[in-house]
Amino acid sequence: MTTPTTLERAFELARSGSCASVQDIRRRLKSEGFDQVEAHLAGPSLGKQLRRLCEEARQPGPQETPIA
């Protein structure tokens, strides 16, 4: 199994719902030992993509209705 790149891991974290913001993603990446996190996550387009994924992942899904 290969180690994901900084960007790959950032997108994994955003989709997981475990990070509420890009700043949370930066903190997690640094705590996991990724290097040059700020450089990898620079740029408004990337920030926008990650923010959107964080928001989508943290929104509640549709309510499941029990089968009678």
Residue-wise pLDDT tens digits, 2-58: 999 999 999 999 999 999 999 999 999 999 999 999 999 999 999 999 999 999 998
Mean pLDDT for the stretch of residues 53-67: 77
pLDDT band at 67 (very low <50, low <70, confident <90, very high): low
Output DSSP code: residue 32: T
pLDDT at site 58: 87
Cite the DSSP H helix spans in 1-68: 6-16, 22-31, 37-40, 44-58
Whether the per-residue pLDDT at 61 is higher than 60: the answer is yes
pTM (2 d.p.):
0.84
